[in-house]
Amino acid sequence: MLSNLVGSEGGKLFAGSALVAGPKGDVRGRGPLWEEAVVTATVDLADVTRARADMPLVADLEVMAPHLASSLEAVRHRAPAALRYDGPSCGPTVESPRSPSLRRAAKKDSPGPSAFPLVALPSTRQGPTPLEIDPKLTTDWLTEFIREEMAQRGFHAAVIGISGGVDSAVTTYLAARALGPKNVVGVRMPYRTSSAASLEHAQLVIDALGICAETIDISRAVDGYLEHVPEADGGRRGNVMARMRMITLFDLSAKYRAIPLGTGNKTERLFGYFTWHADDSPPINPLGDLFKTQVWALARHLGVPNVIVDKPPTADLVVGQTDEGDFGISYARADELLNWLLSGYSAVDLIAHGFNSDEVALVTKRVESTHWKRRLPTVAMVSPTAINESYLRPVDY
């Protein structure tokens, strides 16, 4: 019997689907996905008896003894092993079957040697787990994640900043599935230098899903501050825009009694390619553990318009800016390298496997230099009840 939790806890989603299986692994009963249920099955005790006879590992001594005696007799007359292992061992020291004392015992007790063969199984797996995802299962998983996380906080509606890019489009499609279109508010927040195509592509998402929508032009709010710092370069100006958009989303969340949903993907987060306390501020983020290439795969499955999926990704903060232009590497290549690094392979390992050393250095530097952006503020501990240190709720463990 396999029991499983249902629901979300600290970002970890439990799918339910508890099951009862027979002794050979055949499923006798299965509970529903995502819902609480009690699974029952009628057990034929004869199955247990047969299993104990067929599988000595689960047998009691009485049933197992005849099979064990037969197995030992076969081993006593087995031919010498063709393979030999002389390498190091781990764990408690066990005398080799080829050691003098065991050879003497074998010679005394049986007519032939009793060495066991060593079978070397070739390993076919190289590298980390592939980046390919099951888009249908991922869609169901993230839909339930949004639904559960919203319910735990006592909210039924979400606001999402729709930029016209693939990340915000996928988040909106998932939210509409989880909460219903009427409980999703898509917000377009153009600045005066924003691409007109971004507004059009965002409208495609709004129209396709039938969600509620607002358009808030942030130009005057941003310029009201920037006129006091005329020396601000493009990066600073972009950060001001990003933070103004987040102010807008959180204010509208109060209006609609909704929660802002994040849209940042795993590649951006690892690269630190977001404005701190802006793009990363929403308390729920369904895409945060998906690489950019996986988001594209999910977008195609969900039916996001091709014009959005196929266009070069951009933050649209500076005219002509693209993500990959800022990175100096494509998303596809970056995701491949990140997948290896996150699976425990070092930069030296990656180069040994044939990856370009300059690309490895670029990706490694970006990840290592932006850890601070992925953490909550560091608080000095001056008491034995520091939040997130000593003061923890069960869900925080």
C-alpha span between 301 and 337 (Å, rounded) = 25
The pLDDT, as a whole number, for residue 87 is 45
The phi, psi pair for 280, rounded to 5°, reads -90, 5
Residue 225: its pLDDT value, please? 97
pLDDT band with cut points at 50, 70 and 90 for residue 97: very low
Which residues, including other chains, have CB under 8 Å from residue 262's CB and lie 6 or more apart? 171, 279, 280, 281, 282, 283, 284, 285, 286, 287, 288
Quote the tokens at residue 23. 């002794």
Q: What pLDDT score was predicted for residue 387?
A: 79
Please state the rounded mean pLDDT for residues 162-166.
Answer: 96
CA quadruple 28, 31, 32, 38: dihedral sign: positive
The predicted structure's pLDDT at residue 29: 75
Amino acid at 51: A
Position 126 pLDDT exceeds 70: no
Phi, psi of 68, deg, nearest 5 = -65, -45
Q: For all residues of the chain together, what is the average pLDDT?
A: 84
248: its two tokens? 């807008």
pLDDT of 85 > 90? The answer is: no
Is the model's pLDDT at 227 over the cut of 90?
yes
Q: Greater confidence, 244 or 99?
A: 244
**376 vs 124, residue with greater confidence:** 376
- What percent of the chain clears pLDDT 70, i.e. is strictly above it? 77
Q: Are 291 and 129 a contacting pair, CB within 8 Å?
A: no
Q: Is 50 exceeded by the pLDDT of residue 382? A: yes
Strand partners, 284: 261
Question: Which pLDDT score, from 0 to 100, does residue 25 have?
Answer: 66
Q: What is the reported pLDDT for 148?
A: 95
Q: At residue 94, does pLDDT exceed 50?
A: no
Q: What is the pLDDT at residue 47?
A: 66
Domains of the chain are: 1-70 (no CATH), 135-311 (3.40.50.620), 328-397 (no CATH)
Residue type, 271: F
What pairs with residue 27 in β-bridges? 21
Distances (CA, A) of 344 to 290, 302, 339: 18, 32, 9
Dist CA 190 CA 185 (whole Å):
16
Looking at per-residue pLDDT, the higher value among 125 and 377 belongs to: 377
* pLDDT for residue 20: 78
Average pLDDT, integer, range 65-84: 64
Q: Which residue has the higher pLDDT, 127 or 188?
A: 188
What residue type is 228 in one-letter code?
A: H
User: What's the confidence (pLDDT) of residue 395?
Assistant: 58
- Predicted local confidence at residue 397, as pLDDT: 46
Q: What is the predicted pLDDT for the residue at 170?
A: 98
Angle at 164 between CA 162 and CA 169, to 5 degrees: 60
Say if residues 285 and 263 touch (Cβ distance below 8 Å).
yes
CA distance 90 to 85: 13
If one compares 71 and 239, the residue with the highest pLDDT of the two is 239
Query: Taking Cα atoms as reference points, which of 155, 132, 157, 174 lies closest to residue 285?
Result: 174
Give the model's pLDDT for residue 240: 96
Query: What integer pLDDT is reported at residue 232 of this predicted model?
Result: 95
> What would the mean pLDDT of 250-267 be, rounded to a whole number?
97
pLDDT for res 168: 97
Q: What is the pLDDT of residues 8-32, one digit of tens each?
A: 776 777 888 787 777 666 677 788 8
Query: Is the pLDDT assigned to residue 220 strictly greater than 60?
Result: yes
- Give residue 95's pLDDT: 43
350 or 114, higher pLDDT: 350
The mean-pLDDT minimum among 20-29, 72-81, 142-151, 264-273 falls in 72-81
Mean pLDDT along residues 82-94: 44
- Of the listed ranges 6-15, 148-157, 250-259, 367-376, the one predicted with least confidence: 6-15
